[in-house]
Amino acid sequence: MSESALPLPLATRPRQMGFRRKAARVFGELREAVAQAAYALRAHRLRATLTISGIGLGIAMLIGILTVLSGFQVSFLRQLNTLGPNTLFVHKWKWGVNGNDWWKYKNRPHVTQLDWRALEANANLPEAIAPIVSNDASVTYGGKELKHVDVRGSTSKYLEATGWQIRRGRFLTDLDHELGTDACVIGADLEEAFFKGQEPLGQRLKVGPSTRCTIVGTFVRKGNAFGQPQDLRVLIPLSAFTRSFGLKRGLVLSVVAPAGKVTQTEDEVISVMRNARRLRPDQEDNFSVNRQDKLLQGFNQMTLALNVVGVLIGIITAIVGGIGIMNILLVSVKERTREIGVRRALGARRTTILLQFLCEAVMVSAMGGFVGVALGAGAGKLVDVLTPFPASVDPKVVIGGCLGSILLGAIFGIWPALSAAFLHPIEALRYE
């Protein structure tokens, strides 16, 4: 006979039977405590409803804040990717300039075509360099006018440097820039506004007060970025732009770095620009090379501050809700003091009384948590539908809200439950 088939020693059997009895008793007491707590909540429906509503609104507000922050972060990262992960932007302005440094950057010289030519001739690492200049102007076609259109001038490297794509027709060529032709490429918003259901290629637009251009291509829809429409755009050759709008506006040089060599490319661009501008070693840069990771760093600092505010609001909400639970249970203990005394006199153990009031606190808090999670999830859906932010409720937030509400009830319910459990039976029976 194998060892596993041998009967258990006699000393072990009573131990196992005792453990089973204890487990069955604890389970029975817990089931009875849940039933008593549910009965008590039904008996005081208005009070329980008000407490559940308070906890639910607090948790819903916290989940709503976290949902909006999450949607804002996702939207920002998605729009940031439109700049290109390996793209540098050379400009007189630094991204995220505060009020104290505004005049410093304002007085810097513009980035010019000479800087662009210097980078084209001396920078070896960049895969593409595109000069970009823009102006806000009105565009007219067939008696219909669109205002605040982003009119841009660039070269044939624009697509490679920015990631834009052509939907139909062709893009600008080097010949268009050299000759300053009237060719232009329009965004999806202009195509829809002027040529819905029509062929836009070959049509002529009036850009600004006097410039006319012929449409040779249209862009694929890009969508909004940082709250600004990208598809309300006309792109013309850089030479045609300077002829129509002058040379006063500075350029932005979009520089595409090879994958994994963004820092090396940035160093090379800075070196070439300093040489082109004849800056001495002791002089600081009078231009900026902007990278999206620096913009992301500033955004992360801002979201960290907002998350801290959200956590503080959550803590305050939890404390207020917990105080409400504690207050209701203390009132309940006072109202049921004689009942507790009778039960203790009839043999009810302190653990039984403790479990009953603790279950009551946890049930109230848990129901408030579930209500709050439902309201918060609904608010997230509304934000997703009614705003441009792709808001969605994180499952971790939902689970955290439910577990947090249960924990909240257990923490703030323990004191009233202990007060009820340790009432002296004789004093409780005398209570009026």
Cα of first residue to Cα of last residue in the chain, in angstroms, is 69
Tens digits of per-residue pLDDT, 146-195?
999 999 999 999 998 888 899 999 999 999 999 989 999 999 999 999 99
Q: What is the 3-state secondary structure (H, E, C) of the chain?
A: CCHHHCCCCCCHHHHHHHHHHHHHHHHHHHHHHHHHHHHHHHHCHHHHHHHHHHHHHHHHHHHHHHHHHHHHHHHHHHHHHCCCCCEEEEECCCCCCCHHHHHHHHCCCCCCHHHHHHHHHHCCCCCEEEEEEEEEEEEEECCEEEEEEEEEEECCCHHHHHCCCEEEECCCCHHHHHHCCCEEEECHHHHHHHHCCCCCCCCEEEECCCEEEEEEEEECCCCEECCEECCCEEEEEHHHHHHHHCCCCCCEEEEECCCCCHHHHHHHHHHHHHHHCCCCCCCCCCCEEEEHHHHHHHHHHHHHHHHHHHHHHHHHHHHHHHHHHHHHHHHHHHHCHHHHHHHHHCCCCHHHHHHHHHHHHHHHHHHHHHHHHHHHHHHHHHHHHHCCCCCCCCHHHHHHHHHHHHHHHHHHHHHHHHHHHCCCHHHHHHCC
Report the C-alpha dihedral over residues 318, 323, 326, 328, rounded to 10 degrees.
Answer: -110
Q: Which two tokens mark 390?
A: 């792709």
**Tens of pLDDT along the chain (432 residues)?**
444 444 545 445 555 556 667 666 666 666 766 776 677 677 777 777 877 887 888 788 878 777 777 777 776 666 666 666 688 899 988 877 766 777 888 888 999 999 999 999 999 999 999 999 999 999 999 889 999 999 999 999 999 888 889 999 999 999 999 998 999 999 999 999 999 888 999 999 999 888 899 999 999 998 766 557 788 999 999 999 998 888 778 899 999 888 888 889 999 999 999 999 999 988 998 898 888 766 667 677 777 887 788 778 777 877 888 888 888 888 878 877 887 888 778 777 788 888 888 888 888 888 888 888 888 888 877 877 776 666 767 777 778 878 888 888 888 888 888 888 888 777 767 666
Q: Given this model, what pLDDT does residue 290 score?
A: 87
What whole-number distance in Å separates Cα of residue 333 and Cα of residue 340? 8
Determine contact, residues 158/240, Cβ cutoff 8 Å. Answer: no
Q: What is the pLDDT of residue 172?
A: 94
Please tell me the pTM assigned to this model.
0.62
